[in-house]
Amino acid sequence: MIFQRYLTLPLVQVVVVATTIICLSTRSEAETTADMCKETDYPGVCSTALQDVKTGGGFEDATSVAIQASIAQINQAKSKVLSLMKTETEEGKLFLDVCREVYQDALDNLTACDSDLKEKSRGGLEDKLSSALSDIGTCDDTLNETTNLASAPPVLKYNDVIEKLVTDALALASKI
């Protein structure tokens, strides 16, 4: 009986300490995400993209989430372009088709980042992310060449968000 009493006291202390550690580490995870976003060019965009990061995977998880957000945004932009092409002039369709093609190139680059993340290949990640950023820039340049394309502004808005997400992913990847 006496022996059992001494065993339960340390067990209670261990549970209290463990609970405290878990609570503090959860709080520090939120701060870590905020701190990671401070390392990017667009902290607000980064914070929005990383709001669902729940585990302490650090810059690797943050980079992965930013890449997935970029992929989702490109898919939305690609759908918008396909929709706009249905009502655009033949010349307008040519401009939009360039964007459709480079969106696919950007998606290919971003999808290929998965293996670089697993291998912790910062150089490979930076190359692919830079290429994706360049792809989106090609769409911007193409749309900015024409002044009479009514479809350009909505596509350029998508591109602005994509460029910010990919730029933030690059900044996060540089910390891996």
Q: Give the pLDDT confidence of 94-118 residue by residue, as tens digits.
A: 999 999 999 999 999 999 999 999 9
Name the more confident of 22 and 156. Answer: 156
Q: Which residues contact 117 (CB under 8 A, 6 or more apart)?
A: 60, 63, 64, 67, 125, 176
Show Cβ contacts of residue 113 under 8 Å, excluding neighbours closer than 6 positions: 63, 67, 124, 125, 128, 129
Determine the Cα–Cα distance for residues 16 and 22; give it in Å rounded to an integer. 10
Q: Would you say residue 134 has pLDDT above 70?
A: yes
- What is the gyration radius of the CA atoms in the chain, in angstroms? 23
pLDDT band at 55 (very low <50, low <70, confident <90, very high): low
Q: Is the pLDDT of residue 93 over 50?
A: yes
CATH number of the 2-173 domain = 1.20.140.40
Average pLDDT over residues 69-81: 98
Cα–Cα distance, 72 to 70 (Å, whole number): 5
16 pLDDT above the threshold of 80: no
All residues at 6 or more sequence positions from 25 whose CB lies less than 8 Å from its CB, including other chains: 56
CA 43 – CA 36 distance, rounded (Å): 9
How far apart CA 93 and CA 101 sit, in angstroms, is 12
